[in-house]
Chains A and B, each alone.
Chain A
Amino acid sequence: MAEFQLGGALSGAELRERVRARMAEFGGALRVLAENLLGADAAIDWVAVDAQGQVALVLLGLPGQELELIATGIAQRAWVGARLKDWLQLAPNLGLRPEAKIRLLLLGAAFDGTARQAASALGDAVELWTYRCLRDGGAGVDIFLERIPPGAHRSSLRSQAPPAASTFRSDLSDAKLGLSPGERAEFEGG
């Protein structure tokens, strides 16, 4: 079995190809309707529909431009939202539900705390996904997609810009727990 390691790099075209191949990992049984569709003054990487009839927009961001990606995503979502009924009229067999929310899937190398809070403020239809390149020891480089858990950019505690997606969560404090020294001593020494 190949030994995978984090690292490696992909060109933009290769990255797009890998993401396209892993579209199923975004969940909801996405079916791609359009690729590189010209939207609000820029291209939407993928327009898809999920099993529930929700339109999903997938946008791939460049490293370091995650906030711009979020802004672009808002604009593209509004652009698509204004045209959904027209699309349904044009193609009633696509399975679109114009009254459903539009999922916005934003894919970047990393999202810092500011980006996560910005996405959180936009509502729940915004999904942040990260990709990481994996090198399989030979020449191959693949990607690994991972969704930033919705809770990771929600509460005040969770918005402390964790360096990784795995962030310990608790709003409790030792004082709040109210353990007395006597109670603690019950467990000391084994």
Chain B
Amino acid sequence: MPRSLGEVLHFFLPEAEGQSPAPRFPARSPAHTIVGVPIGDSDVVRAAFVWNLAVELSRAGACATVLAPAGEDTSSLWPDPGRGPMGSELVLTFAEGLADLARAALDLAHTRAAESPAGPGLVLVRLPPAWLSKAADASALLARVLLFSSPAARDLLETYALVKRVVSCAPISTIGITIHGVRSIGEARRAFSRLAAASERHLFRSLVSYGLIVDDLHVYRSILNRHAVGLAHPQAAASRSIGEVAQLLLGDLGETSRG
């Protein structure tokens, strides 16, 4: 004998697949957003972009953390771990593959969210490209991926190859592109368009533009001096463009979380 209307509702509604019990809501606060950034060994330029981006995100009011696997190239890629300018943070972790890195990223995303639940937060995770071939357990790292590409044909091709690899590992990931090393907006637009067109034509995937980083001597000085370009030269073209990348990221995250 049915005891409540809920017990007879299945007569009127199709059976839910699997008939699993109602999901419990997460007790913890939502984790900070994880953004995976493929950065090759000794790729000091992209590492500098990520670190400077974290500083700009922090300056914009977000909690920004960079997570990178500890390795032989650590000292050449990153400044000293710990708190950096504007509250940004660099955390190194011992990881032997993307599965380890994903666990560390999730822990960090939850921990930092609990520490600063009010504001937006991101964990930018360096992904060694060689690890992407074994990315079965790394969906947390590949849900959002940010790639940096220069407008050079060879670099665009390599970036496209990375897009393809990410898509094969994580078919529904959101892939963002920042064009760096450009001297004009038009140059960045053309480079992005070439990449996006190839991706749509061959992979059936659209790409999300995250602006550009202008070719600016201040970026390279920043790499050498380990100074955040946005703080040392706030009016420089590179600072403005990295700041816009940060704003675009935060804008999209805000929309996603509100949705």
0 or 1 for each of B1-14: is its CB under 8 Å from A? (1 = yes): 00011100100011
B104 to chain A, nearest CB (A): 23
Select the stretch in B71-79, B114-122, B204-212 that faces chain A: B204-212
The answer to whether B185 and A93 have CB atoms under 8 Å apart is no
Closest to B176 in A: A149
The answer to whether B14 and A32 have CB atoms under 8 Å apart is yes
The answer to whether A93 and B204 have CB atoms under 8 Å apart is no
Closest to A36 in B: B14
Closest to B183 in A: A184
The answer to whether B188 and A168 have CB atoms under 8 Å apart is yes
A166-B25 CB under 8 A given contacts A33-B13, A171-B244, A178-B237: no
Q: Which residues of A contact B212 (CB under 8 A)?
A: 170, 172
B27 interfacial by beta-carbon distance below 8 Å: no
A167 to chain B, nearest CB (A): 6
* A103, A134, A150, A172: the one within 8 Å of B204 (CB): A134
* A97, A144, A154: the one within 8 Å of B251 (CB): A154
The answer to whether B214 and A151 have CB atoms under 8 Å apart is no
A174-B185 CB under 8 A given contacts A125-B259, A166-B209: yes
The answer to whether B25 and A169 have CB atoms under 8 Å apart is no
Between A29, A101, A127, A151, the greatest number of chain B beta carbons within 10 A of the residue's beta carbon is seen for: A151
Q: Which residues of A contact B174 (CB under 8 A)?
A: 149
The answer to whether A179 and B214 have CB atoms under 8 Å apart is yes
Interface residues on B, range: 35 or more
Alpha-carbon distance between A124 and B251 when the two chains are bound, in angstroms: 12
B199 interfacial by beta-carbon distance below 8 Å: yes
The answer to whether B5 and A89 have CB atoms under 8 Å apart is yes
B192 interfacial by beta-carbon distance below 8 Å: yes
The answer to whether B200 and A166 have CB atoms under 8 Å apart is yes
The answer to whether B183 and A127 have CB atoms under 8 Å apart is no
A8 interfacial by beta-carbon distance below 8 Å: no
Alpha-carbon distance between A32 and B185 when the two chains are bound, in angstroms: 45
Q: Which residues of B contact A176 (CB under 8 A)?
A: 240
Alpha-carbon distance between A178 and B238 when the two chains are bound, in angstroms: 10
The answer to whether A187 and B244 have CB atoms under 8 Å apart is no
Among residues 168 to 219 in chain B, which have CB atoms less than 8 Å away from a CB atom of chain A?
Answer: 172, 174, 183-186, 188-189, 192-193, 196-197, 199-200, 204-212, 214-217
Alpha-carbon distance between A83 and B43 when the two chains are bound, in angstroms: 55
Select the stretch in B16-24, B83-91, B129-137, B224-232 that faces chain A: B16-24
The answer to whether B204 and A144 have CB atoms under 8 Å apart is yes
The answer to whether A186 and B217 have CB atoms under 8 Å apart is yes
A17 interfacial by beta-carbon distance below 8 Å: no
- Additional A-B contacts beyond A52-B25, A166-B197, A170-B212 (11; CB < 8 A): A33-B13, A94-B22, A125-B259, A168-B188, A168-B192, A170-B189, A172-B212, A172-B240, A178-B240, A183-B216, A183-B217
Provide 23 A-B residue pairs closer than 8 Å at the C-beta atoms, listed in order of the A residue.
A29-B23, A33-B14, A34-B14, A53-B22, A53-B25, A90-B6, A94-B16, A95-B22, A95-B23, A103-B259, A134-B204, A146-B205, A149-B208, A149-B252, A151-B248, A154-B251, A154-B255, A164-B196, A166-B192, A170-B212, A177-B214, A178-B235, A184-B183
Question: Sorted from nearest, which 9 A-B pairs have the closest CB atoms?
Answer: A166-B196, A95-B22, A165-B206, A150-B255, A124-B258, A177-B237, A169-B209, A124-B259, A166-B206
Chain B residues with a Cβ under 8 A of chain A: 4-6, 9, 13-14, 16-18, 20-23, 25-26, 172, 174, 183-186, 188-189, 192-193, 196-197, 199-200, 204-212, 214-217, 235-237, 240-241, 244, 248, 251-252, 255-256, 258-259
